[in-house]
Structure 1
Amino acid sequence: MDNKLEDIAAQIKFDILTPTQDVDNEKLIEEVSRSFISDTITVPTKEMYAYAVRTSVGDDVYHEPSMLALEAHMAKIAGKEAAMFIPSGTMSNQLALRTHLQQPPYSVICDVRGHINKYEAGGTSFHSGAHLICVNPSNGHHLTLEDIQDYVVEGSDIHTSPTRVISLENTLNGTIMPQHEAVAICNYAHQLDIRTHLDGARLWHVAAETRTPMHELCAPFDSVSLCFSKGLGAPVGSCLVGSKQFIAKARWFRKLFGGGMRQTGILAGAAAYALTYNFPQLPYVHTLTKELEDGLVELGAKIISPAETCMLFYDPAPIGVTYQEIAHRASELARPIAVGGSRLVVHIQTSPEAIADLLGVIRTLKEEKAREGVNRLVDTMNGVRLNGTNGCPNCGKGAKQLASSSFNIYAKPPKKSA
């Protein structure tokens, strides 16, 4: 290597590992085990890495063997003809919608709380030029056929944007959509030549909780997006499943969207490991989530959305505590806990001790608030006793009588005579 090349090489080289990398990683794993922010924060284990690095090293554009094997397996378990690996769940949903939508004008019906509406940066309108029709579930839990029928646009009125896709989500906010409702909606849609898509990022949880095979859950839909990097704990990726014709067209859009990748064998390996070793852990995740919910109910918090799978939504206002107070106090523990607002998510790497510690934080705050309330009452009553009218011109007599009684909230009741 000549001197000039050595200089350039010296400028380019970079060691990404820190001197304390192993310690840093252990600290991160500890933080993940005590975070209720999301299940996307799970980290690949050493065992997952060891399995993944043994996969093939081909180029996915030229049909990488390990990825082909994963896609074939995903198509099989979903009961579909074909599957395609995609870098993210958002891209998977957007590719599905873009592939289904043929000729504008068109509209897509979805749950107002759905990921494609709230958390994909307006991608449906940007990528597909489609109008989103967002529907509130009348039961507060899941969309029904009756909810959707009122919003379907059909016919030849040129003033309208005809419905071309109905997109559902299961789970949504951790709750399970009844399968009979999904079947009814999809059957209705297909009668009107409307395509159906399922955002099944966490559909694994439904299969684990209801003991329903994946192919049955996917059967009513024309396409389904399945995520590896949420509940299953893989580092990257989702799979889009559907018919051979649908997936073949979606591959064009994946390239157009910038989702084509090269040596993806290691990602396929991580996903395969997650399917084999992490999926069986989901029932235990659900058990922990239910324990967390039971603890919150016992403390008096309000449950906004129940713990049907891996998450719940709660409100601590009934016990006089705020989300901010909980987050702050939890972050100050010797072993900190991370929480956001109303959503609490449990995952395969959540520590059971973290659940007990979080409930302990909320219990302590509740007790402190109760003591503060007692102290305020004492101060108020003492103020009445000392000031007589306590500033109230209309209640002087009663206040003076109360003051003269030398009221003491801590006084023991008099003993009853024999």
Structure 2
Amino acid sequence: MLEKSYENVISEVVPDSIGERIGLEKGDILLSINGQKIEDIIEYMFFIADERLDVLIKKQNEEIRHYHITKEYDEDLGIVFENPIIDKAKSCRNKCIFCFIDQLPSKMRETLYFKDDDSRLSFLQGNFVTLTNMSDQDIDKIIRYRISPINVSIHTTDPVLRIKMLNNKSAGNIYERLKRLTDVGIRINGQIVLCPQINDGENLDKTILDLSLLYPALESVAIVPVGVTNFRESLFPLSIYDKDRANEVIEQINNWQIQLYKKLGTRFVFLSDEFYVLANRSIPSYEEYEEFLQIENGVGLMAMFEYELMDQLRKAQTERIGPKKISIVTGVSAEAFLTKLCREIERRYLGLVLDVHTIENEFFGRTITVAGLVTGQDIFKQLEHKNVGERLIIPESMLKTGEQIFLDDVTVDELQEKLGVRVVVSAVNGKDFLRKILE
């Protein structure tokens, strides 16, 4: 008798879908499609694209049933699995000198310490992978099933330096693997975590040049500064970017963008917003980010946010809605940016007072300045004796994806109860931010 496979258990059947019409139910187990055992979500997506399917299902009463399905090409079956990728996520085998997870304090929730390095999560959720956790057969699978785009943590194309940075003797063949994928049209977005005096300067120049030769399949490269917390005991010694160093990086990338735009028609390499904040410089214009391919990496997030907000304000009529006081919570990096935008909102909506509260990161350390790493306990400690008005707006980037919980396990409801004020979560875009202020 076939044993129950947790990974292939159906958790939901979408109403009015093919799955519902043929009688699939929650708790059923997918065994195969067209005779092919489905080992992960990528295989599932590949095989259900056919117009004729022979689906083998194990019902909850152990009965095995065949379903012969005729459908439109690429039409989904409408089933959701208990495990979104069906298979177990592959964990990271690297010991990167800059790994943020290694810098977490102890006794946080267990899921925060899991390091994934799985190309399927890269394709489905935008996670970055190093390609060190993959065999040649895994690379063949990406090519066969056209898993694209994928996000790759590159850091450097120098084989010796990459082995050192990732602490993995298998990490040196990155360029060979990137070329193998891009040669067959697999689209890739690359990431470089920049560490002072390690992979910047001349090494960064060589890395950008090497990667630009893989364009257009390698679509873009994002550069983010290394993050250093208070919890680096016994870890590789790292320094962080200050104003002068950040300015040097900006000038270096500006020169590259000019060259590459002339040669390729794209700026290709982009800096995260943190560099401009560190250097106390204006962020580039909305147009300079082109297609915002790496906005999830903090590249162009401020430019997009400002564009969306100002677009909404241009459409609005000046009106009086106050007196009304609302507080906004952010990290140190976004303080000046958000304060400037709040003054624009106040000019349009008379009587409205927006207080921007900058939260110093005591939990991870004051070198961590981004809003996404602000914790619930730091918000409470720094606001408990302040008049925050009728409600407090926080960005959803501070919370676990899909849940109302901060990194330190404080929930939004708990913060709301402790502060005695309504806490409102805003999406990280200008339109929703304005809506949450005016609602």
| TM-score, normalization by structure 2 | 0.24
More strand by share: 2
Structure with bigger RCO (C-alpha 8 Å, 6+ apart) = 1
Larger radius of gyration: 1
More helix by share: 1
| TM-score, normalization by structure 1 | 0.25
